[in-house]
């Protein structure tokens, strides 16, 4: 049985991952709380109990870019210090984004964090995988924070009309699909040091909104379950449905 620790376990992706692993007979989730980062001894104990560590913990928004960058790199350095002190050779899976090459302190922290973990893996004999994720959506994502899908679902569920600022194509991955990809990586089915999971779909922003408005009309106003054309539409409806009864 693999013992898997998830930093950022209380967040959108982390909470879904923990629930996904809970029903896997070959995975045991090691409890983690953010306060461990403030307690080197507790963080070291956590690291010692893990075969795999999924590093999700990060600040994604802050008015002060330096604070954001320093916070994220600081979390990475604390985790690496615990790995070094304990002599751990765990498999670290580092969550990044397909937008990591953009300008900005958040993206810089993702690039530089990967370098730090690669250096640790080279020195220690540990294993490192960068998980470069498309835009992730699913039930209970935080509106105005996790993705455009979360924001649109939230507003359409409340009978509002979201505004499209840029009608660009967006690569999307459903949270359940992402969890399965994490599972494949930690089980060793994916050998790449940098891995980008396949997107569930690529849709223009206007296409996403049109589908959500159709779901509202059919399901909310007329009581009809939509006829889904593909996996993406079914996944999008599941996400939308979670906002109808979640205030």
Which residue ranges form the domains of the chain, and what is each CATH number?
Answer: 1-133 (3.40.50.720), 136-170+200-247 (3.40.50.720)
Q: Report DSSP state, residue 36.
A: G
As a whole number of angstroms, the distance between CA 213 and CA 156 comes to 7
φ, ψ of residue 21 in degrees (nearest 5): -70, -25
What pTM was computed for the model? 0.93
**What pLDDT was estimated at residue 208?**
97
Beta strands in the chain (DSSP E): 2-7, 27-30, 52-55, 91-97, 127-133, 135-137, 169-174, 194-195, 201-204
pLDDT tens track for 130-147: 999 999 999 999 998 878
Residues 6+ positions from 72 with CB-CB distance below 8 Å: 58, 59, 106, 109, 110, 113
Residue whose structure tokens are 């600081």: 74
Can you give the pLDDT at residue 145?
Answer: 83
Residues 28, 5: Cα–Cα separation, whole Å: 9
In tens, the pLDDT along 20-56 reads: 999 999 999 999 999 999 999 999 999 999 999 999 9
Candidates 16, 41, 120, 116; CA nearest to 72 is: 116
pLDDT, position 247: 59
| Tens place of pLDDT per residue across the chain (247 aa) | 999 999 999 999 999 999 999 999 999 999 999 999 999 999 999 999 999 999 999 998 889 999 999 999 999 999 999 999 999 999 999 999 998 999 999 999 999 999 999 999 999 999 999 999 999 999 999 998 878 999 999 999 999 989 898 999 999 999 999 999 999 999 999 999 999 999 999 999 999 999 999 999 999 999 999 999 999 999 999 999 999 976 5
């Amino acid at each position: 049985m693999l013992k898997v620790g998830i930093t950022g376990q209380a967040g959108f992706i982390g909470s879904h991952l923990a629930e996904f692993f809970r029903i896997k007979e070959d995975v045991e989730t090691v409890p983690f709380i953010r306060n461990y980062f403030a307690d080197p001894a507790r963080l070291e104990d956590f690291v010692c109990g893990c075969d795999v560590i999924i590093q999700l913990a990060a600040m994604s928004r802050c008015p002060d870019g330096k604070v954001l960058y320093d916070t994220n790199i600081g979390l990475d350095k604390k985790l690496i210090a615990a790995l070094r002190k304990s002599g751990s050779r765990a498999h670290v899976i580092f969550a990044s984004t397909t937008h990591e090459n953009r300008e900005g302190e958040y993206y810089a922290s993702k690039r530089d964090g990967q370098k730090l973990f690669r250096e640790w893996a080279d020195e220690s004999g540990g294993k490192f995988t960068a998980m470069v994720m498309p835009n992730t959506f699913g039930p209970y994502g935080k509106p105005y924070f996790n993705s455009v899908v979360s924001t649109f679902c939230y507003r359409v569920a409340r009978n509002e009309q979201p505004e499209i600022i840029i009608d660009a194509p967006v690569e999307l991955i459903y949270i359940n699909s992402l969890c399965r990809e994490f599972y494949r990586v930690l089980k060793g089915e994916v050998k790449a040091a940098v891995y980008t999971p396949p997107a569930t779909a690529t849709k223009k922003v206007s296409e996403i909104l049109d589908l959500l408005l159709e779901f509202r009309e059919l399901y909310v106003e007329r009581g009809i379950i939509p006829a889904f054309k593909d996996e993406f539409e079914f996944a999008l409806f599941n996400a939308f449905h979670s906002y109808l009864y979640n205030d």
